[in-house]
Amino acid sequence: MPEGDSIFRAARTLQRALAGRTVTRFESVFPRLTRIDDDSPLRGRTIERVEARGKHLLIWFSGDLVLRTHMRMNGSWHIYRPGERWSRPRHDMRIVLETPEMHAVAFSVPVAEFGSAAELARAPALRDLGPDALSERFVAAEAVDRIASRRDMEIADALLDQTAIAGIGNIYKSEVLFAGRISPFLKVAELAREDIDRLVAIAAKFLRANVSEAARGGIVTYAGLRRTTGRSDPGARLWVYGRGGKPCRRCGTPISRVKQGPHARSTYWCDRCQPRSR
């Protein structure tokens, strides 16, 4: 599933490609979207802005209309110049949004809906989101408070709770806990507030490092690999995620892996660096 940094980069790319431009054509395989387009055509509307909120991507149109998409496991947005060949097959297309200069195509996106700004504000998916670590308005203390209130949850599951802190996915969950030397299986109630403060700070640091830009300007898509170690070697870019059975980069202990939580998400950790006893 794309994590908050992936959605942020996608929104930034779409913002550069589409903001201020006029829609010339809209197409979708979703009847609920085409019905809105039939009643209140998108053609002729201006794309005002594109933004990310946690794992949600929002496209704002003139006339008080907003398109919300969520990628789930396999969705993605691509941009193309008119006439350029798509890199994915047409049967994966879910939404096409065309302007004279650029075309945006959503592939395999399972969640998409239109709404007004007021409807968007009332929608539980956005209304209940926790603080977004990639937002300019991020308040770390609020995220810490929300996580701390989930006393009976294991900390790994609390970090994935989008109503506590938005944008952290399964990769960052494992990486943040390793960097913070916290066992994924400790209950939130077993942690000191200083521990939660540290985890939130690490999460924000990791997410922001993976949306930074080496160069300004231009319309580019992200070509790098997510990194948490700070190392340039592509084979050494993550601390624990995806490294089950391989030696810990700190102590050499084999990295462990288990399915955890109500959705059986993979968790990676080092037993020596992240002991369960406090």
> Per residue in 152-163, pLDDT tens?
999 999 999 999
Adjacency order of strands within the sheet including 103-107: 25-28, 93-98, 103-107, 76-80
- DSSP β-ladder status, 56-61 and 265-269: unpaired
Mean pLDDT of 127-149: 96
Predicted pLDDT at 224: 53
| Residues whose CB is less than 8 angstroms from the CB of residue 261 and which lie 6 or more positions away in sequence, other chains included | 154, 156, 157, 160, 267
Q: Which sequence positions are flagged as catalytic?
A: 2-3, 55
Answer yes or no: is 240 within a domain: yes
Are residues 88 and 145 part of one domain?
A: no
CATH number at residue 248: 1.10.8.50
Mean pLDDT of 11-15: 96
Task: List, for residues 217-242, the tens digit of each pLDDT value.
Answer: 443 334 457 899 988 788 899 999 99
Predicted pLDDT at 233: 85
Are residues 265 and 152 part of one domain?
A: yes
Are residues 180 and 101 part of one domain?
A: no
Answer yes or no: is 278 within a domain: no
Mean pLDDT of 270-275: 96
Tokens coding 98: 């065309």
Q: Which domain holds residue 55?
A: 4-127
Are residues 154 and 65 part of one domain?
A: no
Assign 1 a pLDDT band (cuts: 50, 70, 90): low
Among 61, 171, 79, smallest CA distance to 116 is for 61
Are residues 148 and 43 part of one domain?
A: no
Assign 38 a pLDDT band (cuts: 50, 70, 90): very high
Mean pLDDT of 34-56: 96
Are residues 163 and 122 part of one domain?
A: no
Predicted pLDDT at 5: 93
Mean pLDDT of 171-187: 97
| Residues whose CB is less than 8 angstroms from the CB of residue 278 and which lie 6 or more positions away in sequence, other chains included | 186, 190
Residue type, 268: Y
Are residues 80 and 8 part of one domain?
A: yes
Are residues 189 and 220 part of one domain?
A: yes
Are residues 215 and 157 part of one domain?
A: yes
Beta-bridged to residue 49, according to DSSP, are: 60
Mean residue pLDDT across the chain: 93
Are residues 162 and 96 part of one domain?
A: no
Q: Please check whether residue 44 is in contact with residue 61, taking contact to mean a CB–CB distance below 8 angstroms.
A: no
CA 184 and chain centroid, separation: 21
Answer yes or no: is 132 within a domain: no
Are residues 156 and 220 part of one domain?
A: yes
Number of domains, the chain? 2
Q: Does the pLDDT at position 216 exceed 60?
A: no
Q: Kindly state the percentage of the chain with pLDDT values over 70.
A: 95
Last residue of a domain, one of 77, 96, 127: 127
Predicted pLDDT at 146: 98
Predicted pLDDT at 152: 97
Answer yes or no: is 275 within a domain: no
Predicted pLDDT at 222: 40
Answer yes or no: is 277 within a domain: no
Among 91, 95, 134, 129, smallest CA distance to 114 is for 95
Burial (CB < 10 A; 0-12, 13-18, 19+), residue 201, is middle
Are residues 74 and 161 part of one domain?
A: no
Answer yes or no: is 152 within a domain: yes
Mean pLDDT of 109-126: 93
| Angle, CA of 254, 156 and 241, to the nearest 5° | 40
Mean pLDDT of 97-117: 96
